[in-house]
Structure 1
């Protein structure tokens, strides 16, 4: 069932959101100092491409550095990616079939705003990261 949901997701929203994250990551690679945020963008982009069956959990080792990094992230790219999730989520919620996908889009907003200090894991796993 998750595979079917992911396939429909890719067609309706996932591919375009993935491209947005990749574009943000490429732009953040231009100045060398923002490469850590680019890596986070690529990591979330893969999650946005195939979200069902995975979830985001807090890293136990995240500290003040992650908080400060997230503030910079919001200013550089996070706000625009969050707006893309809101717009896409509202558009998907217009139809009954799109409501679960719209809700999935809204669930991606917190990680699009604060990606540092987070880990993407399979549903049911507690600390086995898939990416990064």
Structure 2
């Protein structure tokens, strides 16, 4: 009755139904330094939402990356994002700009994407 609609409601219903957390099955590598969001805060958000932290940048063409067959549970079922489970997160305020957003199963996303996904409790398009 007094619940905030959207992300908070979806998150609560997800937990009540014992479904996987938002970033379950997803792996994150944090590239470079961060000024708009603290890296340590982003890491904690990702972990709390079920994501795993990578210590090395994933390589799109590596055999390990290509043989991963997990699916992101909370991605739209019709989206090719459900096959992307590895994200390289960067600070949009930094000088780094990825040449391509999507490289096979590895996608690049700004740090604000993590916050937006959590606020809406869904894997948003990159």
Considering the TM-score relative to the shorter chain, is it more than 0.5? no
- Provide the TM-score with structure 1 as the length reference: 0.30
TM-score (norm 2): 0.30
> 1 or 2, which has the higher helix percentage?
1
Compare the two structures and name the one with the higher strand fraction: 2
